[in-house]
A and B are shown apart, each in its own frame.
Chain A
Amino acid sequence: MYWIVRGALWFGAYLTLILFPLIVGAVAHGDAAGRPFHTQFGVACGLVSLSIMAFQYTMISKVKTVAGAFGQDALLHFHKLMGMLALVLLMAHAVLMLLSGYPAEWLNPFAPENPWAMRWGVIAGYLLVLLTLVSLLRKPLRLSYGWWQMSHAWLADAVVLMGLVHVLMFGSFSRSPAMRATFAVYSVIVLTLGIKYRLVRPLRMWSKPWVVVENRKEKGDSRTLVLKPSGHEGFTFEPGQFAWISTARTPLHKDRHPISFSSRAYDYGPAEIAFTIRDLGDWSGEIVPKLEPGRRVWVDGPYGVFSADREQGMGYVLIGGGVGVTPMMSICATLAERGDRRPVILFFAGRDLDSLTFDEEFRALEKRMNLKIVYVIERPPENWKGEKGYLNQEILKRHLPAQHKRFQYFICGPPPMMDMVEKALPALGVPPQNIHSERFDMV
């Protein structure tokens, strides 16, 4: 219940921020009132689109209190949906303004006779279309994650800045001092957050580097990076959480990657930490294998609410597919180290036996803790006696314990598997609040 109340409060605050310019406009409209309904509706769409864009950054800026309430992957999902809503509202704004009699020639940002107050808004609109297309088509276009991250941030900054200039120079409602004050306060909030998370935090990270101790190859096209803090005490984390890793020369570079901890969490003080990364091309395939021991890297974390420590139950069911087993390794290794005897069932899905990252490590843990491993292999060898094909509701039902409704469930893997499991578990009577999932495949 606490989670729901906290969530409702955050979204109430968010919605108020987004809609506040409309309240100000409705109260202090000056001579802007009196135009037809569709024109005023169009103006509202434009104002709200700009507000959404201005606060898009707060959702991904890793504000710990916000990320802690929802989980950063859920926030990224919401960020993406809100970005698309901002684009739809901007298009509605353009169409309604054209219907209100504004000339279509103004849509050409290169025409020198068009007023600059208008051109800034039009350029912002085109950049927002570009920003959305680049995000939606990142994978088909094979754009590197680092390049995309950097262009996404710069394009978003340009859209907000140009949109703001357009509203202040051209907008009829923005002539009122109240509206100007609102946008001035919004600019201060956005600038402060921008400086804090893009400059102050990276500079702080610069003084706390980590050093590669080991870079070893694992089964399933993966590599484990073992890191130790250099000149500082590091940090502690909860099993299941993740951090942003940057292997650039400085932490000021935007090339950062969200990776789950695969090592056990230390309860008494910091120590070495490990991340296991699957070769998915670009950074993971080209840069990671070349990270030699002694190389400095930057770690920003820990983040995430996908944590076995936060969700206590009579046992755990861990459902991992592909490289999604890495947080499960952290959870199991931590429980084994603590001598926790609660039952843990690991559904371990993979393409074939050779693709199972940490297979041997999990088997070793079976001897140290109350762990049962259920392999689900897509292409098993001929004499295979275990589960075959893709994980499904029937397989889950066959292996879940009698008291499975009182267990906590952690899911991490390919999106189709996660979608299936998130539907199957409630159908098997698992309470929704006991189901926890982590998705990184956001863009």
Chain B
Amino acid sequence: MRHEIVVRVFALVSVLIVAACLLFGWAVRG
């Protein structure tokens, strides 16, 4: 079961990381 949870947590972490990168790009853009 833990492995299924790991995959879900990873999916969540990936989405948050990409969102943070997009937000950063938007915040410091010209």
Which residues of chain A have a CB within 8 Å of any CB of chain B?
7, 11, 14-15, 18-19, 22, 25-26, 29, 32-45, 48, 70-71, 73-74, 77-78, 81-82, 85, 89, 422, 432-433, 435-437, 439
Determine whether the beta carbon of B28 is less than 8 Å from that of A32. yes
Nearest CB on B from A293, distance (A): 38
Question: Per a CB cutoff under 8 Å, which of A25, A35, A71 touches B29?
Answer: A35
**Which residues of chain A come closer than 8 Å to B7, judged between CB atoms?**
77, 81
**Which residues of chain B come closer than 8 Å to A11, judged between CB atoms?**
9, 13
Which residues of chain B have a CB within 8 Å of any CB of chain A?
1-7, 9-10, 13-14, 16-17, 20-22, 24-30
Nearest CB on A from B28, distance (A): 4
The tally of CB-CB contacts under 8 A between chains A and B is 97
Question: Per a CB cutoff under 8 Å, which of A19, A43, A45, A74 touches B2?
Answer: A74
In the bound complex, what is the Cα–Cα distance between A39 and B24 (angstroms)? 11
User: Which residue of chain A is the closest to B19 with respect to CB atoms?
Assistant: A19
Determine whether the beta carbon of A74 is less than 8 Å from that of B6. yes
**Which residues of chain B come closer than 8 Å to A26, judged between CB atoms?**
24, 27-28
In the bound complex, what is the Cα–Cα distance between A8 and B16 (angstroms)? 14
**Which residues of chain B come closer than 8 Å to A78, judged between CB atoms?**
6, 9-10
**Which residues of chain B come closer than 8 Å to A44, judged between CB atoms?**
20-22, 24-25
User: Which residue of chain A is the closest to B20 with respect to CB atoms?
Assistant: A19
Chain B binding site: helix, strand, loop or mixed by DSSP? Answer: helix
Q: A43-B24, A433-B1 are in contact. List 11 more A-B contacts (CB 8 A).
A: A14-B13, A15-B16, A15-B17, A26-B27, A35-B28, A40-B26, A41-B22, A44-B22, A74-B5, A85-B10, A89-B21
In the bound complex, what is the Cα–Cα distance between A26 and B29 (angstroms)? 10
In the bound complex, what is the Cα–Cα distance between A19 and B13 (angstroms)? 11
Determine whether the beta carbon of A439 is less than 8 Å from that of B20. no
Nearest CB on B from A168, distance (A): 19
**Which residues of chain A come closer than 8 Å to B13, judged between CB atoms?**
11, 14-15, 82, 85
**Which residues of chain A come closer than 8 Å to B14, judged between CB atoms?**
85
Given contacts A11-B13, A15-B13, A45-B21, whether A37 and B3 have CB atoms under 8 Å apart is no
Given contacts A25-B24, A26-B24, A41-B24, whether A36 and B9 have CB atoms under 8 Å apart is no
Given contacts A18-B17, A44-B21, whether A25 and B6 have CB atoms under 8 Å apart is no
**Which residues of chain B come closer than 8 Å to A32, judged between CB atoms?**
28
**Which residues of chain A come closer than 8 Å to B22, judged between CB atoms?**
41, 44
Determine whether the beta carbon of A36 is less than 8 Å from that of B30. yes
Determine whether the beta carbon of A41 is less than 8 Å from that of B2. no
Most buried by A among B6, B27, B28, B30: B28
Nearest CB on B from A431, distance (A): 10
**Which residues of chain A come closer than 8 Å to B16, judged between CB atoms?**
15, 19
Determine whether the beta carbon of B1 is less than 8 Å from that of A33. no
Determine whether the beta carbon of B21 is less than 8 Å from that of A41. yes
Question: Per a CB cutoff under 8 Å, which of B2, B20, B29 touches A37?
Answer: B29
Cβ contacts A to B, 9 pairs, < 8 Å: A22-B24, A38-B25, A40-B24, A42-B25, A70-B2, A77-B3, A85-B14, A436-B1, A437-B2
In the bound complex, what is the Cα–Cα distance between A43 and B9 (angstroms)? 25
**Which residues of chain B come closer than 8 Å to A439, judged between CB atoms?**
3
